[in-house]
Amino acid sequence: MVDQNLLKNLSKQYPDIKSATQEIVNLSAILSLPKGTEYFLSDLHGEHEAFIHMLKSASGVIKGKIDEIFGPDLTAEERDELASLVYNAEAEIARKKKSVENFDRWCKTSILHLVLICKSVTNKYTQSKIRKRLPKEYAYIIDELLHADDEANMGNYYTQIINTMVECRVAEEFIIEMAEVISSLAMDRLHIIGDIWDRGAHPDYIMDYLMDFHDVDFQWGNHDIVWMGAATGNWACIANCLRMNINYNNFDMLEVGYGINLRPLAMMAQKYYGDDPCTKFMPKVIEENKYDPTDPNLAARMNKAISICQFKVEGQRIKAHPEYHMEHRMLLDKIDYEKGTIVVRGKEYELNDKNFPTVDPADPYKLNEDEERVMRGLSNAFLQNDKLQAHIRFIMTHGALYKIVNGNLLFHGCIPMNEDGTFKECEVDGKKYSGKAYMDILDRKVRDAYFTEEPAKRKGKSGDLMWYLWLGADSPLFGKDQMTTFERCFIDDKKTHKEYTVPYYRLIADQKVCEDILVEFGLDPDESVVLNGHVPVKIKDGESPVKGGGKLFIIDGGMSKAYQKTTGIAGYTFIFNSRFMALAEHKPYTPMRADGTQTFHSPVITIVKNMRKRVLISDTDIGVELIRERDELKELVDAYRSGRMKEKNKH
């Protein structure tokens, strides 16, 4: 029985039997539709061009629809060009203006083709849902073109709409909008399973794009959490963010995209390391900076300067948090500054770089005055950065440490486990948690840390938890025993560089372990799967993304250019529609050539699970809510009919 107060509130929106019944019919019809297609991607790492192409192409699904719709009516080259029009309409229009004899005719034909594609991707949606996705300026025209089905009676009407748009010189803009509508409607829901930032050039572009996307959620990754910590003003997180992005030459993103002033850091680096070759700190130049080119030698000095600051402030945080059990990662006090050696895990190694002009051997974790001033300025720059704070707030409010959606479990890294496959107990505020309870308490504390009041007074200390989740041994986002940044910078012996993965990554080969994880989160192991990323799958070495007999999928395939030599591919998309689950294996993204042409490689799509029956909206999480709403409305109609409530429009 529905609460009487709820019925009263419902009656304000549905004041009589007629209006309530109309909505019941609407909800019942929606529940009978097939579920929309969900797309899952992970480890974007700033690769904005490749990522946006994946979205606009629906990970190869749109090309498949073009081949299906037009088949022998268009040549393979014409179908490829039509796909390119959907993927990047502006570029294809510019190219066609130069290459076709009759551009107006090309526009008319292209609009007709786009309408057919749009009809194909919208056949699972209600008209009201489609209208919500249409651009305001062209909503009426697109709606008319999509639903003008009677060619015999509507043919002239249809043709006149298109001819008039060409005559009024709005055809190009209309084509661009149609391409956007197709991409938008092909993807009903998007799940980002962690790691938007670092390595690639423009995570800021990715966030700008996703903030305008119609339905997206995030499962935080380790590279996300360190930026979330930096947004609290945490010095250890800030130093890590800057070190990584200076190391990958991402000055455009730092100084132009987010407007972070790096001049004080550059001046400090020149002051202390001006004569230092900083060989081990030379940036990896994967992409050149367009707006803020920085001399590689200066970048190397800046990299070393911020790295030393990082080791110092991390040592301070370790001292402040003995419960983190990270004392073994305090290495500045293990250096013999006269001999130029260091003791790591009981063994002495020679340092390949013995120049530490800002380190006081008597107090190695103390920042000198210049370092203190630079870090204070950087902290203010992060705290007062409107664009960065908007991005972080969005990923906080639209994200979580894990998510259960339509019967599947999503998280970025791992669940801490013991060697025997049991869930490891981890300490938080003096209490022990494991499995789902551990993830829940960490999720709550991350939110508390970011949304804590009086940001000017917190001085970044609330971000310490995010820093721990970035590199801590019991972090479900990190999944390794330690982060050996210092060793990789200062010790040649690669044995010291090794970071050992936690038991989870060995255990998930066992189907029983994967099923235990699903049960721990309240899911049916016969129907549900786990999706996570974080560890690139080395396809070229024979590794598989499918684990635990198809109960778990690791979908980090190396979208980041930095990983593609290791993986042999360029990322995965996991696709879940009403009929099946599939993996799309992507080839490296090819940038546009000088002549405006571009080669798009269709991904290899492999079905990994066929649904026992077609999944309807009634079978989904949204369906549960719609059924509840429908049942409440039925109660309202019964109340009207029985006289328990009076219809507002009746006299």
Which is more confident, 552 or 541?
A: 552
Write down the mean pLDDT value for the chain: 92
Q: What is the pLDDT of residue 596?
A: 77
Residues 350 and 487: beta-carbon distance below 8 Å = no
Which pLDDT band, with edges at 50, 70 and 90, does 151 fall under? Answer: low
Sign of the CA dihedral running 609, 613, 616, 620: negative
Mean pLDDT of 610-630: 96
Instruction: State residue 629 phi and psi, 5-degree precision.
Output: -60, -40
Distance CA 533, CA 531 (A): 7
Q: What is the pLDDT of residue 609?
A: 95
Mean pLDDT of 394-416: 97
Q: What is the pLDDT of residue 404?
A: 98
Residues 26 and 617: beta-carbon distance below 8 Å = no
> Is this structure's pTM higher than 0.85?
yes
Residues 615 and 34: beta-carbon distance below 8 Å = yes
Q: Which of 91-105, 322-336, 454-468, 482-496 has the lowest mean pLDDT?
A: 454-468
Query: For the segment 414-444, what is each residue's pLDDT rounded down to a tens digit?
Result: 999 999 999 999 999 999 999 999 999 999 9
Q: What is the pLDDT of residue 454?
A: 60
216-219 and 189-192 beta bridge pairing? parallel
Distance CA 460, CA 378 (A): 12
Q: What is the pLDDT of residue 457?
A: 42
Q: What is the pLDDT of residue 461?
A: 78
Which is more confident, 345 or 123?
A: 345
pLDDT at 29 over 60: yes
Tokens of 336: 């013999």
Distance CA 279, CA 310 (A): 18
Give 14-23's long-range contacts (Cβ < 8 A, gap of 24+). Answer: 14/633, 14/636, 15/647, 15/648, 15/649, 16/640, 16/647, 16/648, 16/649, 16/650, 17/637, 17/640, 17/641, 17/647, 20/633, 20/636, 20/637, 20/640, 21/637, 23/633
Distance CA 559, CA 536 (A): 9
Query: For the segment 285-319, what is each residue's pLDDT rounded down to a tens digit?
Result: 888 888 888 999 999 999 999 999 999 999 999 99
SS3 per-residue string spanning 247-290: HCCCHHHHHHHCCCCCHHHHHHHHHHHCCCCCHHHCCCCCCCCC
Mean pLDDT of 199-207: 94
pLDDT at 583 over 80: yes
End-to-end alpha carbon distance in the chain: 27
The percent of residues above 90 in pLDDT, for the chain, comes to 78
Distance CA 355, CA 274 (A): 12
Mean pLDDT of 234-244: 97
Q: What is the pLDDT of residue 369?
A: 98
Q: What is the pLDDT of residue 141?
A: 87
Tokens of 247: 């190391």
Q: Where on the phi/psi map is residue 624: left (φ > 0), alpha (ψ -120 to 50), or beta? A: alpha
Query: For the segment 167-187, what is each residue's pLDDT rounded down to a tens digit?
Result: 999 999 999 999 999 998 999
Q: Where are the domains of the chain?
A: 4-32+623-642, 38-192+556-615, 203-497
Which pLDDT band, with edges at 50, 70 and 90, does 1 fall under? Answer: low
Q: CB neighbours of 184 closer than 8 A, spacing ≥ 6?
A: 133, 214
Instruction: State residue 536 phi and psi, 5-degree precision.
Output: -60, 135
Which pLDDT band, with edges at 50, 70 and 90, does 555 fall under? Answer: very high
Q: What is the pLDDT of residue 650?
A: 59
Helix axes 369-383, 296-320, angle to 10 degrees: 90
Mean pLDDT of 50-60: 92
pLDDT at 150 over 60: no
Using a 10 angstrom Cβ sphere, with 0-12 exposed, 13-18 middle and 19 or more buried, the burial of residue 482 is middle
pLDDT at 277 over 60: yes
The kind and range of the H/E element at 15 are none
Give 61-64's long-range contacts (Cβ < 8 A, gap of 24+). Answer: 61/37, 61/186, 61/575, 62/86, 62/87, 62/117, 62/121, 62/182, 62/183, 62/186, 63/600, 63/602, 64/602, 64/605
